[in-house]
Structure 1
Amino acid sequence: MLNIEGIMKKIFCITMTALLVLAACGGSNDDAESAESSDGLSSGEQAIADALTAELVSDPEFPFVDDATCISETSVSVIGEDKLTELGFSATSVDTSAAELPEEIQEAFTNAVLDCTGTSGLAAYIVEASAEDDDGAPIRMADAECIANGLDREQWYEFVASSFEAETPDDVFAAEFFSAILTACPQILVNSFMDDLGLDQEQAECLSESLSDTLLDLFTSGSGELEDNDVPPELFGDLISAFVDCGVDLSQLE
């Protein structure tokens, strides 16, 4: 069986995993209340930030533990104690459904994640997530760094912001993000074909050029999570033709 699904999952689905992970994260004051902490937060804000940090760190699936304090304090600083209190946040309660939060709160958290993790943090997570996947070798660090740096701030913002949606991102979003990755980092397909299928450089480059549009069609058709024998016949035919035309011996890939 051709391991096309595994390659597609590695390039795209490891980043989509972050959406589900992030989704799980969930007036004037008197002089005492306005006391500033060393980080520029009031004592009340600092208490909420500390509680949020503890919540993030305690989540075994949260990928950015080292940045949890920064994410929490940055978010709280932007939102402010009054708004957080109004929404039910306190030093003892930060467990509010992300999907139910107002847009400005989601925006503050999204920007905090991007500002605190940076491209190096995103790249490290992509490599770590791919190493946990059973479908072949991990993504190369150079490729992960390309994804992290090649997509612009707006694209990453939309990616992280999607974590607040109640439902899993649809196939249209998947196709658009996958397309953005291939546009910014076309060598990822080449390296994946070489690492996972054992192809040489020439074969991998040929296959990458031939299959980019076909893989996008698979996502658009909703087939990105199907086994290879469930791929629509017309697209499966394109896959086979591409392998043959690029001089790949199919018997070695079974």
Structure 2
Amino acid sequence: MTDPMDLVALAKQVQKGDDFVKAVAGNKLMLIAEQIRHLQDKARQVLEEAKRDADLHHAACNIKKRPGHMYYLYLRDSGQRYFSILSPDEWGSSCPHEFIGAYRLEHDMTWTLAKDFERRGEEYKIVHQILSKHASLEYFPDSKMEGMVKDGVIPDKPSSGKNEDSKESEVPRQETGTAPFLSKPAKESTSMRDIAILVTLTITALYANMSHPEGSDARKIELEKSGCPKAEVICSLI
């Protein structure tokens, strides 16, 4: 005959397992909800910055705008905004119109406000540090060729039906372990997939750095929660 106490203990164990599963699922859903809210805020910020950049590009400017240069936005009495290369300090007391702000034109044709120079510079610095730790960035459209190159095998030129003994069909050979379209040994090359992973890790690291400026331990915990496989390495860079 079965002991009733065993059935009660079994029922309690099942209930305990259900409670743990619900708690874990709830924590994961809360994390997803937090990430969704963050993405919504970032999407709103992207749209606002895009609208601002478009408005700035429509401001009057009598000179050719060049990326990397500073431009100063002024407002005329008529309400027209215009860019000038002269700062308020250079104008001095003879500044004819109201000064709105100083902007730098980036190479992607976006605008950076003067107060954001340091923040954007730090972002560029982190990206450069991560990418500089890897070898040359090459794109391999064919996964089979990518594997051959990484193994140090130089693929022969496909036959085109012509006489392969002719000089026109000859493919210059390089030293073993180096493909003709690589400037470094093939084993050091990085595919576009690796670059995408690096960029994703960089964005995650930047978000953790802004969310937890108090220390690297808090940033590392945030990165590990987000599923970052190289949290410790990324935190060492920021």
More strand by share: 2
Do both proteins adopt the same fold according to a TM-score greater than 0.5, normalized to the shorter chain? no
Bigger share in helix: 1
State the TM-score, normalizing by the size of structure 1: 0.24
Larger radius of gyration: 2
